[in-house]
A and B are shown apart, each in its own frame.
Chain A
Amino acid sequence: MKCGVVVFPGSNCDHDAYHVLEQVMELEVEFLWHDQDHLNGCDLVVLPGGFAYGDYLRAGALAALSPVMGAVKRHGQAGGWVLGICNGFQMLLESGMLPGAMRLNRSLRFECRDVWLRVERSDLGFTSDYEAGQLIRVPIAHAEGNYIDSDSALDELEENRQVVFRYVAPDGSDSDEANINGSARAIAGIVNKQGNVLGMMPHPERCSEEILGNSDGLPLFRSLLRASREAMRMAQ
């Protein structure tokens, strides 16, 4: 699997995603520049966290209009893997690749801490190394992660099983207190209907090594590698 990490001016988790893919997963990985209109044949595209173009106007709004996003959209429509983390998730929303929008956290402050997530489904290319219902601990670091959409759109997300990660209490129960940013239905991450474009606010790349005290994010990358290998086998 060839991976590309897009670098926008203001991206700041690009090196972190690159590090996990290259050093931990031992995959072929390269940086993609924001003003290129192709993806150099990458199978997985990561839209990293940060403050692309300063997040001026709205988080992810300007990035959604950059040349590279046209290529990312085409890649996603063709069934290619796209993973948007934090600012990358915001870009997926702003570009219409995923439904919904972000508001400021309900605390109106930047929140950096570990949160507990429930993995809602394990039948995706992103989550097959998790168990459905599994609890994982993942760091968040954002000011605008309060997911919102209309009730009917949220119902549709649920019906289509597009909610992949939800904020929960450490014991796995639903809890308003644990829904740290106030997201609708405690949504932390969603996938498109086809299951190949995932956006999530928590940072799996920050918890994929034991030395950092937490490797709960690693199965996500392992799942992707497995899915990619299976797809290649099918193609042959």
Chain B
Amino acid sequence: MSAEAEPNVDLELARAHGLTDEEYEDLIGFLGREPSYTELGITSALWSEHCSYKSSKVYLREFPTTGPRVLQGPGENAGAVDVGHGWAAVFKMESHNHPSYIEPYQGAATGVGGILRDVFTMGARPIACMDSLRFGAIDAPRMRHLVDGVVRGIGDYGNCVGIPTVGGETGFHPAYNGNILVNAFALGIARHEDIFLGLASGIGNPILYVGSRTGRDGIHGATMASESFDSESEAKLPTVQVGDPFTEKVLLEACLDAMGTGAIVGIQDMGAAGLTSSAFEMADRSGTGVRMDLDRVPLREEGLIPYEMMLSESQERMVIVAEAGREQEVIQVFERWGLAVTEIGEVTNTKHAVITHQGQVVADMPISPLVNEAPMYERPVAVPDDLAQRQEAPEVPVPEDAGTALEALLSAPGLASSEWIWRQYDHTVRTNTVIGPGGDAAVLRLKQTPSALALTSDVNPVYCSLDPRRGGAQAVVEAVRNLACVGAEPVGLTDCLNFGNPENPEISWQFRECVRGMAEACSVLGVPVVSGNVSFYNETEGSSVLPTPTVAMVGLIARLGDPPRSHFSQPGDRVILFGSDAGEFGGSAYLRHVHGLERGRPPAVDLASEAALSALLCELADRGMLHAAHDLSEGGLAVALAEATFGRGIGASVDVGYTAETLFSESQARALVAVAPEEAEAVLRAAAQRGVPAHDIGETGGADLVISFDGGELRRSVDSLHETWSTALPRALGM
């Protein structure tokens, strides 16, 4: 197809590309003329919500992004923090929601592929993945197919590349029936001095193209991720990319080897908006220009037009800027791994991106205005009309039988064991996994150091829906608490902010409030936000997902001993409960799963109490005093106790002064620990010194879980509870 066959560019076509009338005017202003078809395509991708953060930037500035450990904050392919001994932890989380709903296997697989490339382009070797998944009601149409496809897609990709998937979370709620969430996280490690950035510096340096050939897949993926779903969405199947984990693995090894040559100036993967965003972002960071000749781009099929080449999201491709004269060193490394390298252009001093095809200039655009003066919006916000009503404190019914209520909670798909899922993921490859999936946080040793990294991902979307500010803060404090349960102190956070349409004032309000809640918690607890991703337009036919600001946090255990597990490890230990209960049931699992109510304000978040609790847990873990530690979250004390009995099948007998329903209250800043009887006094003293309420509530042992409460007793065999909990998810899925 030649340029003559391209459509004429006018306002109507610009609108069809998702540009507003004002944005189109801005573009004409920057260019000083009407754009070409290729230029319009490039602009629509760069200014898509997905790439430009135009509706979110104004609030994201509230996040703390600096700190003594931060080596690289937001704006690069991934964030990086110092974890000691000259090592950096490099990590990021990204959404792949829309593609995964249309084609779950490829959508989820390429989500994993994309996030791994973000990490290894930084010069870091990926060592772990996590996935935070939200599905609709399990019996909703297509849902079993979606769950199965997403899980297989994540597994097949991560397993093949050989990166262990060590954690994550899985939730179910009807609000995701028409728009599931797939948030993929990857962590890599690099020596400080080996971190690479996406730069296109050095006038005259060659621009190299490496990896898979360019096809028509994924064109307008970034734009699709910036639109809502409707009944036509099935027709968007061609916008889903197709992954090849083998190429990714070879690309990973070749890139890390090539970086070792010292001949690479900058490197970036072609992710959302493909060649467009790589070229523009790299040049923008370096204040340079680029010239690219599209005739040299390796193609999968004949006849792609420049527009398609610039917007293709074919997977497993990288852009590398090499030092002029040393290209051959880079090329040799890639050829050894069986990968072709093509020089497609060079770095210039024009501050323009000049793209040619068949001898014609098809795009000539100023870089900085397109990247930095992209439109930014402070969208109108409005408190949802029904919020006050939804926040009204509901009457909390006393359970007829506490044991039956506990069983109902343990068999709810979001609380039941997710082992059926994570058993399909290789979680032991690379031989770093000290604690794998299923606990409060995963723990990975750092070879050749005495240290370990801990990982967790958390968010409670129901809390966020009922009070986004509290919900945002709660996601952060729960992550901090989970890390503390394995004795790790937080060093950094990445996030995936999944929301509906920001042009809806109520959604914009949810977003602003969630971000503020997160930002406050991060500031007070000293956790920098070093990378992240915003995914708007998660709605179908006008029905929006719950506000879901997924938090993934990395923690450091400076001296790895035998970290506490989340389950009881031996009989005869004392069970100590840290924190105090305030009878908080708003948005609780108990009200939702036992009484069908999704109401009330979520539990209050007290940042000082959380800080004290986490410091206490880390101190006790470091002193080697904790045989087990498990935080209290969804389902409250009863669910936490039951989960603690499952790992080794060791029961417990505890006595709390609560009423029956209070066993399920979700007050924050609480955790259970198990300690040797002779250490109990010292643990209580340590808690008192830090002002953390602590009660010795009983001991581990026996084959039953027995909870005596005010007015009764809950008694169940550990075996029967475990059976309920471990079989619920596969049963519900019909697997």
Known: A51-B249, A53-B246, A110-B155. A10 touches B431 (CB 8 A): no
Q: Does A50 contact B (CB under 8 A)?
A: yes
Q: Decide: A141 and B428 in contact? CB cutoff 8 A.
A: yes
* CA–CA, A206 and B433, complex, Å: 9
* CA–CA, A74 and B286, complex, Å: 54
* CA–CA, A109 and B162, complex, Å: 17
Q: Does A199 contact B (CB under 8 A)?
A: no
Which A residue's beta carbon lies closest to that of B339?
A9
Q: Decide: A10 and B428 in contact? CB cutoff 8 A.
A: no
Q: Decide: A12 and B246 in contact? CB cutoff 8 A.
A: no
Which residues does chain A contribute within 8 Å of B33, judged by CB atoms? none
Q: Decide: B428 and A110 in contact? CB cutoff 8 A.
A: no
Q: Decide: B430 and A10 in contact? CB cutoff 8 A.
A: no
Known: A9-B337, A211-B434. A141 touches B447 (CB 8 A): no
* CA–CA, A209 and B432, complex, Å: 10
How many whole Å from A218's CB to the nearest CB in chain B? Answer: 12
Stretch of A13-21, A155-163, A186-194 that contacts chain B: A13-21
How many whole Å from A147's CB to the nearest CB in chain B? Answer: 20
- Of B338, B428, B430, which one neighbours A9 at CB under 8 angstroms? B338
How many whole Å from B149's CB to the nearest CB in chain A? Answer: 13
* A-facing residues in B161-182 (Cβ within 8 Å): 161-162
Q: Decide: B445 and A112 in contact? CB cutoff 8 A.
A: no
Chain B: interface size category: 20 to 34
* CA–CA, A9 and B161, complex, Å: 11
How many whole Å from B186's CB to the nearest CB in chain A? Answer: 15
* B-facing residues in A164-213 (Cβ within 8 Å): 203, 205-206, 209, 211-213
Which B residue's beta carbon lies closest to that of A20?
B431
Q: Decide: B246 and A56 in contact? CB cutoff 8 A.
A: yes
* CA–CA, A109 and B246, complex, Å: 19
Which residues does chain B contribute within 8 Å of A23, judged by CB atoms? 447
How many whole Å from A138's CB to the nearest CB in chain B? Answer: 10
Q: Does B720 contact A (CB under 8 A)?
A: no
Q: Does A76 contact B (CB under 8 A)?
A: no
Q: Decide: A51 and B423 in contact? CB cutoff 8 A.
A: no
| Chain A 27-60 interface mask (CB, 8 Å, partner B; 1/0) | 0000000000000000000000111011110000
- Of A13, A49, A54, A203, which one neighbours B246 at CB under 8 angstroms? A54
User: Total number of A-B contacts with CB less than 8 angstroms?
Assistant: 82
How many whole Å from B673's CB to the nearest CB in chain A? Answer: 20
Q: Decide: B249 and A111 in contact? CB cutoff 8 A.
A: no
How many whole Å from A122's CB to the nearest CB in chain B? Answer: 25
Q: Decide: B426 and A110 in contact? CB cutoff 8 A.
A: yes
Q: Decide: B424 and A10 in contact? CB cutoff 8 A.
A: no
Q: Decide: A10 and B447 in contact? CB cutoff 8 A.
A: no
Q: Decide: A112 and B426 in contact? CB cutoff 8 A.
A: yes
Which B residue's beta carbon lies closest to that of A141?
B426
* CA–CA, A19 and B162, complex, Å: 15
How many whole Å from B211's CB to the nearest CB in chain A? Answer: 14
* CA–CA, A109 and B428, complex, Å: 17
* CA–CA, A50 and B161, complex, Å: 8
* CA–CA, A10 and B249, complex, Å: 6
Known: A9-B250, A9-B338, A54-B160. A16 touches B431 (CB 8 A): yes
Q: Does B727 contact A (CB under 8 A)?
A: no
12 A-B pairs within 8 Å (CB atoms) are namely A12-B160, A16-B429, A19-B431, A50-B162, A51-B162, A54-B244, A55-B160, A109-B155, A110-B156, A110-B424, A143-B159, A206-B429
